[in-house]
Amino acid sequence: MTEDVRGVLVSLEQELRRGAIVLCILSLLDRPRYGYALVEHLEKSGMPVEPGTLYPLLRRLEKQGLLTSEWETSGPKPRKYYAMSEAGREVYRLLLSDWADMQAAVNELTREGENHEP
């Protein structure tokens, strides 16, 4: 594989992951978690996300009304905890069913593709 094609592959992979990451984040925020806990959890689950990407994303989702946040100051260090809002749960449910439909469709299409191979 040439350098150019590898670059294209990397950017396509990023595009594929971009939407899925939101789904993964929402799935983990059915209970309050702070940012770095999410980073570690996602990495362990094989869906690593850079902190520099995740933190701004959390704020954006909060601004869009899908998450709520609260500073937890009773612990050893203050941390901002995020959790799904009511609207967030609704969106998550719908996204999940979209994801399942999409997955089924993609599987179907790629299986058809395999049959065409010589």
Partner 1 sequence: MSHDKAQTGDLIDRYVYQVVRRLPQSQRADIEAELRGLIDDMLSARGGGKREDVIAVLRELGRPAELASRYSGSRRSLIGPEYYDTYLLVLKIVLAATGFGMAVAQAIGFIAEAPDSIFVAVARFFAAIFSAMVQAFAWVTIVFALIERWSGGSFLKDMEWNPDDLPPVPEKNTAIPRGEPIAGIVFIVLLLVLINAAPQLFGAYILEDGSLRMVPAFDPGVFYRQLPLVDVMICVGLVKEALRLVVGRYTLPLSLAITALNIVTTVMFILLFGPASGVWNPHFMTQIGTEWSLSETAAQLWRLVPIVLTGLVIFGNVVDSVQAIIRGARCRKA
Contacting positions for partner 1 (CB under 8 A): 34-36, 40, 50-53, 55-56, 59-60, 71, 77-80
Residue pair 63/70 in contact (Cβ under 8 Å)? The answer is no
Q: Which amino acid is at 106?
A: V
Which is closer to partner 1, CB of 75 or CB of 113?
Answer: 75
- Cβ of residue 70: shortest distance to partner 1, in angstroms? 12
Cα 73 from chain centroid (whole Å): 27
Which is closer to partner 1, CB of 24 or CB of 37?
Answer: 37
9 contacts: CB under 8 Å, gap ≥ 6? 1
Which is closer to partner 1, CB of 34 or CB of 92?
Answer: 34
- Cβ of residue 34: shortest distance to partner 1, in angstroms? 8
Residue pair 61/88 in contact (Cβ under 8 Å)? The answer is yes
